[in-house]
Structure 1
Amino acid sequence: MKDRYSRQELYKPIGVSGQKKIQSKHVLIIGCGALGTMNAESLVRAGIGRLSIVDRDYVEISNLQRQQLFTEEDCLKQLPKAIAAKEHLLNINSSVTINAYVMDGTSSNLPPLMEDVDLVIDATDNFDIRFVINDLIHQYTIPWIFGSCVGSTGMSYTIVPQETPCLQCLLDATPASGATCDSVGVISPAVQMVVALQQAEALKILVEDDESLRTKLVTFDLWNNMFHTMDIKRAKKNTCPTCGENPIYPKLTYESQTKMEVLCGRNTVQVRSKREVHMEELARRLSEIGTVHQNDFLLSVDYHSFRVVIFKDGRVLIHGTNSIEQARNIYYQLVG
């Protein structure tokens, strides 16, 4: 196995010493969809020492077009994405330590995972969690590589606490589009381009070559042959509540956490709950209203025109509605 990383070590900016640094580092990926799976595979093939993956969802057939780690068998088993990813990644490189967390990342459960992390990679699909991450990485002083894509477009930016503008500063300067993959679609090359940009920056950070980090925001549109870089250093604000002179990290307060949310473009409502779920008891009860499908991590049941998926951590996905009120009623009817 001594030649495993030989081609990477031959690249002078990494070399043997850089490879040793990579193997000593810990990366946290939040989100395990298209960006997450590709980032995770690249890091595992590069020989990262430890990789932690956080994701709240499970594998569905529509994921397979662009989420390259997953298979049809994962869909049939309704495996949580983090678990399926871990299994496949270990088959690629068994020497990597991989932690899989089936949970919705929040300001309550993410801090313990930040304690010994060298880098956070953004692979999420909404700005609620991104703003939480933005506050956390500044609180813990961890570099973070932002990335997003939709349609044939994408963007990436490397955020270094105390040095660069934060996500809030960035979006104040360059407002984000309201489009999502679920509403307008996405092509795989756009995902691959964002991941390439993120991974190049990740390797620089992991080998501690900070001078080579890209300092500009990159945006592109592959279909329309556009590639643009923007210098946003001036976007950093001294009054910013996250990265300014007197940070208060506003997105980490309890009041700012979403308890029930519509998952954009998916005709689905997610309900968060801290109550303990007794899966076997719940499965027996729900079997009276429909066929229950269950694995070690979740159970699902069809209820009228809805599909209800309940995770062990108390989260519930109610597919078939965008109405929070309707979802709340279904939740109380089934879960209690």
Structure 2
Amino acid sequence: MKERYSRQALFKPIGKTGQEKISDSHVMILGCGALGTANAANLARAGVGKLTIIDRDYVERSNLQRQQLFTDKDAENQVPKVIAAKEKLEAINPEIEVNALILDVTGEELAPYLKDVDLVIDATDNFDIRFVMNDLIHKHKLPWIFGSCVGSTGMSYTILPGESPCLACILDTTTLSGATCDSVGIIAPAVQMVVAHQTAEALKLLVGDVNSLRTQLVMFDLWTNQYQMIKVDRAKKASCPSCGVNPSYPALSYDTRTKTEVLCGRNTVQIRANRHIVLEELASRLEKLGSIHVNKFLLSLHYGDYRVVVFSDGRAFIHGTSSMEEARKIYYQLVG
């Protein structure tokens, strides 16, 4: 057993055999913000053989307080989150493989990336994406670990397709706050508490210790010193369109996908466009408008009262507005 993992292998529920299973495993982390970077760092140190990390965003200074793999230089250079994370993860553990995907999750196009994945960790920041993943992982029979945090609160739940209630079932019976990090803030310890639950559950699944999995929804508030475990097994419904007897997977339908969306709490609209953009050509065309930052992943410029970020896959963030109509107008003016 390698010295790198010797202390972990001394832990009897893992042992040498469990460590070998961890080293042969492939984990997908959807989202590379606070939860995603911390889970990825934990699993890289644990020796997970392959990590696939997926995120659509780039590093900003407001991320640095809680998103532990990023630096001020990453924010200054507007590096895509997965690219910055991959660099740090490979420095943490050069023995593992890190697959970084700058990708906006919209449905079945994610399915090819699930090949050979052993489990999925939810580290997203909105429930539209979570419902897509809920349907997708049930369709492909993969375990996944839900996690969410805001303010000083957090929650986590481990979902086993065919056995436990899915996310849609749980949300039918559980009241959740609509607050976001951008509206009420967040403290880093809340992130770390959720990640501790998620990573621990991931290790249990990877070594095959399903009997030790937590079967309840955990919820906590670190500031008010509240911690509770909620039984949700009765929430599972035979009629559920995602995990029931005759699933239709509604979140994967093309008609339910959002082509333009307001990013929660950020006064920003994302526009999706199925096109490839040569960023250098776009930069040359727009240079008369003012200072432009461009790297091989994205182009950023200030346009009047707005800040516009265009990705090579045709997506764009229009910062400074929550109006989809206004955002589309700006996109057409700049990109065409």
**TM-score, scaled relative to structure 2:** 0.99
> Which residue does the alignment assign to 1:91?
91
Deviation per residue, 1:238-273 (Å, 9 max, x gap): 000000000010000100110000001101000001
> Which residue does the alignment assign to 1:17?
17
Letter in 1 for 2:327: A
1:155-304 equivalences under 5 Å are: 155-304=155-304
Range with bigger deviation, 210-219 or 282-291: 282-291
Q: Secondary structure at the match of 1:131?
A: helix
Q: Distance in 2 between matches of 1:260 and 1:175?
A: 27
> Which residue does the alignment assign to 1:143?
143
Q: Distance in 2 between matches of 1:325 and 1:57?
A: 22
Q: Distance in 1 between matches of 2:143 and 2:2?
A: 30
Q: Secondary structure at the match of 1:288?
A: helix
Letter in 2 for 1:212: S
Deviation per residue, 1:68-116 (Å, 9 max, x gap): 0000111111100000000000000001000000111120431111121
Q: Secondary structure at the match of 1:164?
A: coil
Q: Secondary structure at the match of 2:318?
A: strand
> Which residue does the alignment assign to 2:57?
57
Letter in 2 for 1:161: P
- Is 1:7 aligned to residue 7 of structure 2? yes
Q: Distance in 1 between matches of 2:189 and 2:279?
A: 40
- Is 1:107 aligned to residue 107 of structure 2? yes
Q: Distance in 2 between matches of 1:48 and 1:262?
A: 35
Q: Distance in 2 between matches of 1:137 and 1:116?
A: 13
Letter in 2 for 1:303: Y
Q: Distance in 2 between matches of 1:151 and 1:35?
A: 14
Letter in 2 for 1:295: N
Letter in 1 for 2:25: K
> Which residue does the alignment assign to 1:320?
320
Letter in 1 for 2:144: W
Q: Distance in 2 between matches of 1:316 and 1:106?
A: 15
Any stretches of 5+ residues in structure 2 without a counterpart?
A: none
> Which residue does the alignment assign to 1:48?
48
Cα RMSD (Å): 0.8
Deviation of residue 319 (structure 1)? 0.3
Q: Distance in 1 between matches of 2:2 and 2:330?
A: 56
Matched-pair contact (CA < 8 Å) for 2:279–2:296:
no
Letter in 2 for 1:201: E
Letter in 1 for 2:91: N
Q: Secondary structure at the match of 1:175?
A: coil
Deviation of residue 226 (structure 1)? 0.1
Letter in 2 for 1:68: Q
Deviation per residue, 1:272-322 (Å, 9 max, x gap): 010221212111111121211001100111100100000111110000001
Letter in 1 for 2:159: I
Identity %: 65
Matched-pair contact (CA < 8 Å) for 2:55–2:101:
yes
Letter in 1 for 2:125: D
**How many equivalent pairs are there?**
336
Deviation per residue, 1:160-190 (Å, 9 max, x gap): 0000000000100103210000000000000
Q: Secondary structure at the match of 2:243?
A: coil
Q: Distance in 1 between matches of 2:90 and 2:288?
A: 39
Letter in 2 for 1:23: S
Deviation per residue, 1:10-44 (Å, 9 max, x gap): 00000000000000000000000000000000000
- Is 1:72 aligned to residue 84 of structure 2? no
Q: Distance in 2 between matches of 1:82 and 1:175?
A: 32
Q: Secondary structure at the match of 2:276?
A: coil
Q: Distance in 2 between matches of 1:276 and 1:175?
A: 41
Q: Secondary structure at the match of 1:5?
A: helix
Q: Distance in 2 between matches of 1:240 and 1:233?
A: 14
Matched-pair contact (CA < 8 Å) for 2:108–2:136:
no
Letter in 2 for 1:319: H
